């Protein structure tokens, strides 16, 4: 049964210049040569015969305009979230951003020192994004995991874990307070996407999620209600929320960590639908803007592929059955669960082929993000990736980015 809500960034389409493109855009591909070299472009600010471009026309209620053209390299870059090590973004990342070859950046505690340092870093990234070589005049996706409790990359709120919220005297109010606090914390620093809340419904005390307090409850109705409270409060602040880890890691045992190893969750299809996916139906109705896919394998849906590589789960369950229209994002591409799927470039192509929009390169190594981008570019050029599906992903990503420039101030 499809949820009836739409992501908040699509709702902005009724009032802003750019986000209407999801509803009405038509994509026109210019004469397209079959150069699949994948080599690094020295400049992507203009179209050449060797580097064909895609033009994304945008029509709104009051204005008709056209986004600047994107080369295949830039199109591929718009699918990638980069990370880096240390307190200072490396020149390679600044260069990628300035050429329009990055959708955004994820931050970890190792990137954060003081508020002044963090603000300075974000200002540097935003200045790079304002380069004349970058045709996308929209905010970068600047994201962090700020769930609360033990999983907080930034100092400060929300202090309570999701489990503590679920056990509190007024959990709905506490969840809303946590969502608002997380949003204000990120927004104060210039970040605009929180990879929270976790919507996993834990099964056993001390299981994978429960041991860290990362699940609101073992009751899907409670997880649903509190997740929606967090999501709505945070997105009112102007920070996009991310529901994770679809279709659910609540059944994972203490040692079943997809960051470290392959995990297979042999859950009955009925349980997946009525327990694990239940909170996502409410989140989608509430306008959740991003959904992160799990790297676990769910034989009841797909006996072969992890969720984030499975078209059956990404397209069939999330898009078609639940009706999610927003942006999808992988979990960390370097996860141990993907050890049998090759290097980061191959993993990125498989995730994009499954229908995931954003590829999260969270290893702290910019070159691995570049590897993912180059592999995606080659797969786009040689037809491995369906062009219509690729461009639909770009529409969703760019609609989200443009909408972030229009959010109300807190």
Q: For the domain that residue 227 is a member of, what is the CATH number?
A: 3.20.20.300
Tell whether 36 is covered by a domain. Answer: yes
Q: How far apart are CA 313 and CA 302, in angstroms?
A: 8
- pTM, two decimal places: 0.88
Tell whether 3 is covered by a domain. Answer: no
Tell whether 409 is covered by a domain. Answer: no
Tell whether 223 is covered by a domain. Answer: yes
Tell whether 386 is covered by a domain. Answer: yes
Tell whether 45 is covered by a domain. Answer: yes
Low-confidence ranges of the chain (pLDDT < 70): 1-4, 8, 10-68, 408-410
Please enumerate in sequence order all residues whose Cβ is within 8 A of that of 270, keeping only pairs 6 or more positions apart, or say none. none
Which of 181, 178, 170 has the alpha carbon at shortest distance from 198?
A: 178
Which pLDDT belongs to residue 21? 40
Tell me how many domains the chain contains: 1
Asked whether the beta carbons of 165 and 217 are under 8 A apart, the reply is no
Which pLDDT belongs to residue 4? 61
Tell whether 332 is covered by a domain. Answer: yes
Mean pLDDT of the chain, nearest integer: 87
Residue 89: CA count within 13 A, CB half-sphere: 27
Domain with 196 in it: 8-404
Which pLDDT belongs to residue 45? 34
Please enumerate in sequence order all residues whose Cβ is within 8 A of that of 406, keeping only pairs 6 or more positions apart, or say none. 12, 15, 16, 19
Tell whether 295 is covered by a domain. Answer: yes
């Amino acid at each position: 049964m499809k949820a009836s809500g739409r992501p908040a960034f699509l709702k902005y389409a009724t009032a802003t210049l750019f986000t209407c493109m999801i509803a009405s855009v038509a994509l026109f591909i210019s004469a397209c040569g079959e150069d699949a070299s994948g080599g690094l472009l020295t400049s992507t600010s203009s179209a050449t015969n060797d580097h064909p471009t895609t033009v994304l026309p945008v029509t709104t209620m009051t204005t008709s305009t056209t986004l600047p053209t994107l080369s295949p390299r830039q199109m591929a870059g718009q699918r990638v979230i980069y990370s880096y090590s240390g307190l200072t973004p490396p020149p390679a990342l600044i260069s990628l951003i300035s050429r329009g070859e990055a959708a955004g950046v994820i931050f970890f505690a190792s990137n954060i020192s003081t508020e002044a340092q963090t603000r300075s870093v974000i200002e540097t990234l935003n200045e790079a994004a304002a380069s004349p070589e970058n045709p996308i005049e929209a905010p970068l996706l600047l994201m962090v995991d700020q769930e609360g409790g033990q999983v907080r990359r930034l100092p400060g709120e929300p202090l309570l874990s999701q489990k503590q919220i679920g056990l509190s005297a007024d959990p709905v109010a506490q969840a809303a307070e946590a969502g608002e606090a997380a949003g204000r914390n990120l927004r104060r620093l210039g970040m605009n996407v929180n990879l929270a809340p976790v919507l996993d419904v834990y099964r056993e005390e001390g299981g994978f999620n429960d041991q860290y307090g990362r699940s609101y409850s073992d009751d899907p109705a409670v997880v649903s209600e509190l997740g929606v409270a967090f999501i709505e409060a945070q997105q009112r602040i102007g920070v996009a929320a991310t529901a994770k880890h679809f279709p659910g890691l609540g059944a994972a045992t203490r040692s079943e960590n997809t960051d470290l190893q392959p995990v297979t969750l042999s859950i009955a299809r009925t349980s997946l639908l009525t327990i694990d996916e239940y909170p996502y139906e409410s989140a989608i109705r509430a306008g959740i803007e991003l959904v992160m896919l799990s790297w676990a394998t769910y034989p009841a849906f797909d006996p072969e592929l992890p969720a984030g590589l499975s078209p059956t789960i990404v397209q069939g369950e999330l898009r078609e059955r639940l009706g999610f229209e927003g942006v999808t994002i992988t979990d960390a591409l370097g996860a141990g669960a993907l050890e049998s799927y090759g290097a980061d470039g191959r993993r990125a192509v498989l995730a994009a082929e499954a229908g995931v929009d954003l590829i999260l390169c969270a290893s702290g190594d910019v070159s691995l993000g570049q590897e993912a981008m180059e592999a995606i570019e080659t797969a786009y050029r040689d037809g491995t990736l369906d062009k219509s599906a690729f461009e639909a992903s770009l529409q969703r990503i760019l609609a989200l980015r443009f909408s972030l420039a229009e959010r109300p101030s807190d």
